[in-house]
Structure 1
């Protein structure tokens, strides 16, 4: 292997692979012999492969992961540790931009999905919460950030310089395909050596052109100064909401941490979560998922009677192992115990560290807001409902703050940075219900829901349009989404977790796909209320990509989205919706004219949920009725 490396010319696209393989060989020997010298040589070869500037980015990424992991494990205080993780995260971003399809990008990302979390854990352990934040931002939500042009990714280039964008794409694909030949460099003939040297020179020229293209993009395209580079923490801190903190929750097998971003502070506020673990997060997530499957809460409830006798078999059944007697997630109290654990181990420690105080619902003081940005398995847990719901110690997050979610800090910061009034000509609300879509369960409650909302909105003189069933087609719905700043979709929805752009809302005449919505120029998009099922449910294997409809609607341009984590029932959905709009309409001022303002939507949802809670008890069934409603965005 040493000879193969020595015989391979500098610049040859297969050199990074040979260096990586040599590093693996030396690592195996050093482990078996306990040889520190071999370990250091292995790390050096991984570093050379990762930073050589040519060869397939996928091979360089594999090398960078090994370089970062070994350096952090055996010499964490080395300056190389931060450099290694920086390199790995940058290559991860590059890999995501090289695929031809969303499915391919997600397949590549699935193989390295643990990298951002590991990097963040290392950053927090080394006292560099700023680097942890940068790495999480650069290594997560890559596909959405490409599509929405919220960060400096390849997908946004054509709108600025189509020729430059095409050349960047062409060169990146050539770099990925380079080195696919499996020739050996040992015992080459003279002509073969010349051919290899020619190939190496050609690849060096390609790599040089790639670097030149990156420099051109970064120096000439406004907003692309950090193209394929991590956004520095200082940039992320420039545009934060002034009504409450953003709290990023990082979970990894090594440690769990919260990173709070607060307007006015010039650095992140690090909160170690000492009583929380990755294993706990997985346990809670798996238990909740199994319960939802058992309770058939994976689609809008339709004609199902949500007032039927409570199923006493509320625990885990079927193929899922039943918890032992001393398991805190025992039968009958799965939801309450998950919420209680999240409260004690995650949410309350964060609120205490940030100085939040309990407020009464009748208080004249506006509740502060808090934006949750969970990662890993915490992405599937209801942080917005964390609390203790029975006994003398009863308390919950709703007594302290109004919760929202954001897929990433950059998504929310972009909304804050570009916040502006909606054009008066399009300010208004478009409503539609789709109660009887062919081959899907009937959901009659959607008709009642939109009619009640429509009547209330008309009373306030707001510009509004309501079209039901086959009165609206997919094409006309898209037209109305351009003509009205806010939308309310009461319908079935389905998420394609392998290709999120094919996720869709089900209309009578066919599917309204997310890809179609994103292609529209929705520059005045404000609020999207998705009164459908599990519109904020992601895919476990791609938790860092936040693959769900709510995130997709943010990528399409909507500033705020109301969505659901699981099925909502026809009994409660109309009440939640009408209470929600009652609150928004009560906040209107004369200057609004006939327009519709969704900027208070987080408070409106908080109000609507509190109203629903007053009509319910704290049983498992009742908790499952109100917890699924979530707010995303500004």
Structure 2
């Protein structure tokens, strides 16, 4: 116990006596464990009086020693675990360190598991575990946590006899968790039940009881939430009454006074917005200013108090137009957003409000650039490696569009360099995390082999942990809950190990920027030698293109004044309607038929007004993309039209669209008329890239030697269970086999039920290239479940991401919707094509929507024939996908010649095919 500081003995001598007893108790003494635990409890109570964090840290050390010295099966173990968990929970609430919360939940879960049924302490342990799960829910947004919290707290109430003095705190805790779930789901019955349980708790509490302020405070928040949802002013009046009483009954200097003042201010602000009574807004601001003043420095709730104050000050400014109020608004939001403590989600909200308040300054303040810089940094902190992939995607839905808004602002200040940097750092975050976990470590290994091996091992474990998905609920056992808690704790610890290892690497000369987000200028160092990279930002205020070319020292800014977010959404909606109508006639390889299509096309209409000179809707959309987006970019780049009679290929363009533009076919933009067509295909070979960094990393790590596992694996799945037959897939792979079998290449083909999902994954590791001809499905609710359908079962994106396909080169995904993203995650590239890139493939051929059996075999055969015809035989390259973009361009041109018209049916036959990567 020598590392534990001597506690302050402000009340009596019990603490110092117990301290001396623990200090001088010999190791192995039978009372050592209980004395350590008692000391921990004393120190925790000391913290609750002094608010000195060192007291709480000492308490945790004492509890940890008690647990470590206790044998498995000892009847005291549940008590020691519970006390440890409670102290860890308190430290999390004070500092916001997520590791403490993970450890607390594990200790509390074990305490519940080891507590015998019917034990008098079971309700307390269940309720406290529920509180910790509620805390984790607010950090991760995982609905499983809040469902489990409610389950624990219901059990605590059910196990407590009527009239027991503990029933009131259990009821109020249940109400808090029910309110938490309501705030996430909007389910009003949860909130109504929360209010009923919290009113019951208040009614059961005798006047003068020390717990009354807390119960009134929680009831007031729930009533305020119902007012915000339903609008009944009586709820708000009752909330203010409860919160005023809570503040009045809270002793001066109490640690909960700041939160109670801040929330009273929130309710008063709500009433001001409804009634316009100036006295409410002045009282609200006064309460919230006191909350900020009373909060301990470094407390994790300080950003929340500052944000609440800023919101109230903004409302007063809107009434008074006093510039001093606006200055205070900006200061409150800025201080909250840049605070060293607090949850990233709270600080991100403050940063957004900071930027919005700066927009009220006339003329616009350049300080808004600082606000957006903070926003971009905080977005990454809301979706960190300590969360599962699914949870990260859930968080990123809430921030969708912010990087685009930031880039738009930067362009308006003529800072195209910053716009590029923010788009790179704020988009495709999960994709970038996955890529970082697979980063080659050759340079680091030469410098420090042990450190490189440590990075590789932790990255491998994080990759697996991040892709895993677990379940919870009443059906799982207590021991399974402990296992899940251990898994969550280990995941958090791995994320911290990763951060610590990165810090070690960056401390070495030459590695200062290892895996850090790239400044804009570093992107120019590894661009493809031939061709252009074009990023297109789409925001409600303006649209811009940013073009990059190897050898240029700065990005080229190309404003797109004739394009808009409104037009982009109109084009997308119209195209979606046409696709649904088209797919009713030709279902192709799309196993999942949109529910809007099942009524045989009735009710399908376009929001696009139609084209010119008899153009179809699809032709009109492609013309709009050409005239408003693509042609202005080509003109700015001074790209000439290519002579179609020439054998040479056009130059390359890598498109990097943002927002809803990600769902539109830039690679097919053009005017399609029988006698005077003009399209992007006349100027360039198109590819796509999720981010510029994704492309430059592949250029940087480009292999120049023969791939040691070069070869092509292909499969057809014509009769996957539960989906319509697609006999054309058999024809397709057989046509490829005929093209490749005489080329002295390593080629393997396994069809139908002869191939298992596990074999396919093994083949991805054994061959550099893979061709999948099958059904595929995009899962909008859970992107990680997007999948290829095999006779043996589904091959999900989550499963693919767990494989590190370091030798992968080319993937041809001859299935439907393999590059179709999720609308709410348009800038996260959540689709099978991006999944293959993240897993290691350097280039991917995919589809934006359904493809039909009729033409797929010809496209594939022409694609592979072109690759074989353009092999570098002298270099001994074997099977190489380096020419895959040109090969797809060639195959599409051949199909266009075969179709020989520009009808919607013909256009929709070839437009779905897209190329991703280098």
When normalised by structure 1's length, the TM-score is 0.85
Alignment CA distance shift 1:452-1:317 (3 Å): closer
Give the 3-state SS of the residue equivalent to 1:437 in structure 2: coil
2:375 paired with 1:92: no
- Counterpart of 1:124 (choices 411, 418, 422) is 411
User: What is aligned with 1:520?
Assistant: 803
**How big is the shift at 1:506?**
1.2
User: What is aligned with 1:632?
Assistant: 916
Q: Select between 454-463 and 373-382 the one with higher mean Cα deviation.
A: 454-463
User: What is aligned with 1:225?
Assistant: 513
**How big is the shift at 1:83?**
1.4
The 8 Å contact of residues 323 and 331 in structure 1, kept in 2 or not, is answered as: no
**How big is the shift at 1:297?**
6.8
Give the 3-state SS of the residue equivalent to 1:525 in structure 2: coil
The 8 Å contact of residues 459 and 498 in structure 2, kept in 1 or not, is answered as: no
The 8 Å contact of residues 842 and 917 in structure 2, kept in 1 or not, is answered as: yes
Aligned-partner Cα distance in 1 for 2:683–2:877: 34
The 8 Å contact of residues 306 and 333 in structure 2, kept in 1 or not, is answered as: yes
The 8 Å contact of residues 502 and 513 in structure 1, kept in 2 or not, is answered as: yes
2:556 paired with 1:269: yes
Alignment CA distance shift 1:58-1:470 (3 Å): same
User: What is aligned with 1:188?
Assistant: none
Give the 3-state SS of the residue equivalent to 1:63 in structure 2: helix
**How big is the shift at 1:230?**
4.2
Aligned-partner Cα distance in 2 for 1:454–1:257: 45
Between the two structures, name the one with larger relative contact order (CA 8 Å, sep ≥ 6).
1
User: What is aligned with 1:452?
Assistant: 735
2:834 paired with 1:551: yes
2:868 paired with 1:581: no
Aligned-partner Cα distance in 2 for 1:604–1:518: 27
When normalised by structure 2's length, the TM-score is 0.60
The 8 Å contact of residues 158 and 164 in structure 1, kept in 2 or not, is answered as: no
Alignment CA distance shift 1:212-1:104 (3 Å): closer
The 8 Å contact of residues 99 and 105 in structure 1, kept in 2 or not, is answered as: no
- Counterpart of 1:418 (choices 677, 701, 714) is 701
Aligned-partner Cα distance in 2 for 1:218–1:167: 21
**How big is the shift at 1:298?**
11
Give the 3-state SS of the residue equivalent to 1:249 in structure 2: strand
Aligned-partner Cα distance in 1 for 2:556–2:364: 22
The Cα offsets for residues 370-404 of structure 1, whole Å up to 9 and x where unpaired, read as 00000011000000000000165420000000000
**How big is the shift at 1:220?**
5.0
The Cα offsets for residues 131-155 of structure 1, whole Å up to 9 and x where unpaired, read as 1011111111111111221799xxx
User: What is aligned with 2:904?
Assistant: 620
**How big is the shift at 1:589?**
3.5
2:393 paired with 1:109: no
Alignment CA distance shift 1:165-1:360 (3 Å): closer
The 8 Å contact of residues 416 and 546 in structure 2, kept in 1 or not, is answered as: yes
User: What is aligned with 1:333?
Assistant: 616
Give the 3-state SS of the residue equivalent to 1:149 in structure 2: helix
Aligned-partner Cα distance in 1 for 2:375–2:859: 45
User: What is aligned with 1:2?
Assistant: 289
**How big is the shift at 1:77?**
5.4
User: What is aligned with 1:51?
Assistant: 338
The Cα offsets for residues 275-330 of structure 1, whole Å up to 9 and x where unpaired, read as 101100010011111221222279961599xxxxxxxx9xx975555548x55499
Q: How does 1:207-606 map to 2 (within 5 A)?
A: 215-216=503-504, 218-219=506-507, 225=513, 230-296=517-583, 301=588, 318-319=602-603, 322-323=606-607, 328=611, 333-390=616-673, 393-421=676-704, 423-591=706-874, 593=876, 595-606=878-889
Aligned-partner Cα distance in 1 for 2:889–2:905: 19
User: What is aligned with 1:308?
Assistant: none
Alignment CA distance shift 1:582-1:209 (3 Å): closer
Give the 3-state SS of the residue equivalent to 2:526 in structure 1: coil
Q: Select between 609-618 and 327-336 the one with higher mean Cα deviation.
A: 327-336
Give the 3-state SS of the residue equivalent to 1:459 in structure 2: coil
Alignment CA distance shift 1:577-1:483 (3 Å): same
Aligned-partner Cα distance in 2 for 1:438–1:328: 42
Alignment CA distance shift 1:168-1:478 (3 Å): closer
Give the 3-state SS of the residue equivalent to 2:804 in structure 1: coil
Q: Select between 240-249 and 415-424 the one with higher mean Cα deviation.
A: 415-424
Q: Which structure has the highest helix share of the two?
A: 2
Alignment CA distance shift 1:602-1:421 (3 Å): same
Give the 3-state SS of the residue equivalent to 1:257 in structure 2: strand
**How big is the shift at 1:76?**
6.5
The 8 Å contact of residues 652 and 687 in structure 2, kept in 1 or not, is answered as: yes
Aligned-partner Cα distance in 2 for 1:457–1:565: 27
The Cα offsets for residues 430-480 of structure 1, whole Å up to 9 and x where unpaired, read as 111111111111010010110111111012111111111122211122222
Aligned-partner Cα distance in 2 for 1:415–1:100: 27
Alignment CA distance shift 1:161-1:242 (3 Å): closer
Q: Select between 418-427 and 615-624 the one with higher mean Cα deviation.
A: 418-427
User: What is aligned with 2:67?
Assistant: none
Give the 3-state SS of the residue equivalent to 1:493 in structure 2: strand
Aligned-partner Cα distance in 2 for 1:560–1:542: 22
The Cα offsets for residues 550-583 of structure 1, whole Å up to 9 and x where unpaired, read as 1110000000000001111110000100011111
- Counterpart of 2:429 (choices 121, 142, 148) is 142
User: What is aligned with 1:40?
Assistant: 327
**How big is the shift at 1:128?**
0.5
Aligned-partner Cα distance in 2 for 1:211–1:361: 53
The Cα offsets for residues 64-118 of structure 1, whole Å up to 9 and x where unpaired, read as 1111232245257544222111111000011111662222212211111121010
User: What is aligned with 1:81?
Assistant: 368
The Cα offsets for residues 161-215 of structure 1, whole Å up to 9 and x where unpaired, read as 489889999xxxxxxxxxxxxxxxxxxxxxxxxxxxxxxxxxxxxxx99998875
**How big is the shift at 1:32?**
1.8
Q: Select between 506-515 and 67-76 the one with higher mean Cα deviation.
A: 67-76
- Number of residues paired by the alignment? 581
Aligned-partner Cα distance in 2 for 1:113–1:539: 11
Aligned-partner Cα distance in 2 for 1:455–1:222: 51
Aligned-partner Cα distance in 2 for 1:78–1:465: 62
Structure 2 residues without counterparts, runs of 5 or longer: 1-287, 440-450, 464-495, 592-596
Structure 1 residues without counterparts, runs of 5 or longer: 170-207, 305-312
Give the 3-state SS of the residue equivalent to 1:569 in structure 2: coil
